[in-house]
């Protein structure tokens, strides 16, 4: 069905109709569709407890919709007239009972026909609310207040024109101040509120770990290592933050016995969610909460940087340290980028440099530990030069020399030239294991 914008003459006649129906069942119905963009079934289900006169909002299950002065005034008068008969807003003026959906359609149809608006349907008022919101506020706000999905919005032939108008308006209007900190706070609030929904969990994974939507869509519980705070992906292990681990534990608890291996499942069918559908779900969640669907992508670089930091620190913790070369291979970074990250972590006090490796703070080896490690290498590999010991142990040459001197003095090792090698390098041999 095509969305067609109402022309000026039709709008004029519609406004005349509403003015002639300041407080009637038909007037309320038409205003809820035209002024607030509600569909017929939403109008039918609307209850007085959802009408927030103080804040001028209609609090629907999936969204809050602002009320203009005309709609607010009409609903106040209607509540005075019929509010005592039912908890529902739309009641029959004669029977004083909750009006059926079919009756809502008939009443709206009759009022529109009497005003000469025979080609205008109740659904057209809803569609044109969306088009007006899109042109005036942007399509994200239109989706937020209308509850319409992105896929449905994009399927309408006329939506592109509305989006073009919205973009033109945005380009000609000064940008609203919107600090990055405020954006982050708003996004965090949305993620926490929707943390157990597929869209909320997907966004959390996307922002926190830097995973692609394809990886999120295919993620299984077998890949989730909650004990070690890791995601085991095809090409890498991705560390998890403590907050994300807690969230995944919460999701797992709500599942009960896991019959489906995928982490993200559709709410009703309980099936894996395709990548394209998952992307649309996240955009819809953001749009309905007044956030730019492109926001996670803008903030994702921060998540990716934090993910690289966690991966590097986790590697250093497991192996007692990490070299520049190992950091490059682990993260797929250039030499300069890897060195910059290692230097930054060192400056922050999370790593300490023990050339040629960087070790976790507090993991520095004692003299006895260094000697023990040297004995182990010599016992396993036989005679080694100081350089070989440095490479095998990931220890600075000066640290190797400091450890070798007392071992020589105690007669635990012997030093002699290796005549079998070019240049006859000095090698160290274990005498007393």
Domain termination site, one of 344, 360, 376? 360
Do 293 and 307 sit in the same domain of this protein?
no
Total number of domains in the chain: 4
Exposure b/e, 246-266, CB count within 10 A at least 16 = b = ebbeebeeeeeeeeeebbbbe
DSSP state of 48: G
Q: Which of 27, 1, 11 is nearest to 120 (CA)?
A: 11
Do 16 and 151 sit in the same domain of this protein?
yes
Do 164 and 15 sit in the same domain of this protein?
yes
> Looking at residue 99, what is its pLDDT?
92
Do 402 and 283 sit in the same domain of this protein?
no
Do 141 and 22 sit in the same domain of this protein?
yes
Do 73 and 166 sit in the same domain of this protein?
yes
Domain termination site, one of 360, 380, 401? 360
> Looking at residue 176, what is its pLDDT?
32
What CATH number does the domain containing 378 carry? 1.10.10.10
Residue 175 lies in a domain: no
Q: Please identify every stretch of the chain with a pLDDT value under 50, giving residue numbers as ranges.
A: 1-2, 157-180
Do 265 and 330 sit in the same domain of this protein?
no
pLDDT tens per residue, range 405-422: 889 988 899 988 877 767
104 close to 32: Cβ distance less than 8 angstroms: no
pLDDT tens per residue, range 63-122: 888 899 999 999 999 999 988 999 999 998 787 899 999 999 999 999 999 999 998 888
Do 239 and 384 sit in the same domain of this protein?
no
Element (H, E) at 306: helix 295-319
Q: At what angle do helices 386-393 and 367-381 cross, to 10 degrees?
A: 110
Do 292 and 308 sit in the same domain of this protein?
no
> Looking at residue 179, what is its pLDDT?
47
> Looking at residue 312, what is its pLDDT?
87
**Which residues have a Cβ under 8 Å from the Cβ of 66 and sit 6 or more positions away?**
36, 56, 57, 58, 145
Residue 125 lies in a domain: yes
Do 32 and 145 sit in the same domain of this protein?
yes
The rounded mean pLDDT for the chain is: 80
How many residues belong to the chain?
Answer: 433
> Looking at residue 31, what is its pLDDT?
94
> Looking at residue 181, what is its pLDDT?
54
What domain range is 235 assigned to? 180-297
> Looking at residue 161, what is its pLDDT?
47
163 close to 307: Cβ distance less than 8 angstroms: no
Residue 1 lies in a domain: no
Q: What is the pTM of this model?
A: 0.42
Domain termination site, one of 148, 170, 192? 170
> Looking at residue 86, what is its pLDDT?
92
The 3-state secondary structure of 286-297, one letter per residue? HHHCCCCCCHHH
What CATH number does the domain containing 252 carry? 1.10.443.10
Q: Which of 342, 341, 361 is nearest to 350 (CA)?
A: 361
Beta pairing class for 322-323 and 357-360: antiparallel
Do 308 and 293 sit in the same domain of this protein?
no
> Taking the CB of residue 232, how many other CB atoms lie within 10 A of it?
13
∠ CA(359), CA(303), CA(226), 5° rounding?
70
Q: At what angle do helices 295-319 and 180-193 cross, to 10 degrees?
A: 80
Do 140 and 24 sit in the same domain of this protein?
yes
């Amino acid at each position: 069905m095509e969305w067609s914008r109402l022309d000026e003459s039709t709008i004029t006649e519609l406004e005349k109709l509403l003015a002639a129906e300041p407080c009637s069942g038909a007037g309320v119905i038409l205003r809820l569709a035209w002024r607030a963009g509600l569909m017929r079934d939403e109008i039918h289900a609307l209850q007085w407890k959802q009408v927030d006169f103080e804040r001028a909002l209609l609090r629907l299950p999936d969204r809050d919709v602002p009320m203009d002065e005309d709609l607010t005034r009409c609903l106040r008068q209607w509540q005075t007239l019929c509010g005592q008969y039912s908890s529902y807003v739309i009641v029959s003026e004669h029977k004083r009972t909750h009006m059926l959906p079919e009756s809502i359609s008939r009443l709206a149809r009759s009022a529109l026909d009497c005003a000469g608006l025979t080609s205008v349907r109740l659904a057209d008022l809803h569609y044109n609310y969306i088009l007006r919101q899109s042109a005036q506020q942007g399509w994200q706000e239109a989706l937020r207040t209308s509850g319409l999905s992105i896929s449905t919005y994009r399927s309408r032939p006329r939506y592109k024109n509305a989006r073009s108008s919205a973009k033109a308006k945005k380009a000609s209007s000064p940008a609203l101040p919107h600090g990055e900190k405020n954006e982050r706070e708003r996004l965090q609030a949305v993620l926490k509120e929707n943390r157990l929904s597929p869209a909320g969990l997907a966004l959390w994974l996307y922002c926190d770990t830097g995973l692609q939507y394809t990886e999120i869509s295919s993620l299984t519980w077998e890949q989730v290592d909650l004990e070690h705070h890791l995601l085991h992906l095809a090409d890498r292990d991705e560390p998890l933050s403590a907050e994300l681990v807690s969230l995944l534990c919460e999701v797992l608890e709500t599942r009960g016995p896991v019959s489906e291996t995928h982490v993200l499942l559709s709410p009703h069918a309980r099936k894996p969610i395709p990548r394209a559908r998952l992307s649309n779900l996240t955009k819809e969640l953001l749009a309905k909460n007044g956030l730019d669907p492109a926001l996670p992508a803008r903030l994702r670089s921060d998540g990716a940087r934090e993910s690289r930091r966690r991966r590097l620190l986790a590697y250093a913790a497991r192996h007692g340290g990490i070299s520049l070369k190992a950091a490059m291979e682990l993260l797929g970074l250039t030499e300069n980028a890897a060195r910059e990250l290692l230097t930054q972590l060192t400056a922050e006090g999370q790593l300490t440099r023990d050339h040629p490796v960087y070790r976790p703070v507090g993991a520095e080896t004692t003299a006895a530990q260094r000697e023990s490690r040297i004995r182990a290498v010599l016992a396993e590999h036989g005679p080694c030069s100081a350089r070989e010991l440095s490479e095998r142990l990931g220890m600075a040459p000066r640290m190797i020399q400091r450890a070798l001197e007392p071992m020589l003095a105690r007669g635990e090792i012997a030093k002699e030239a290796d005549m079998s090698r070019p240049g006859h390098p000095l090698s160290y041999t274990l005498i007393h294991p």
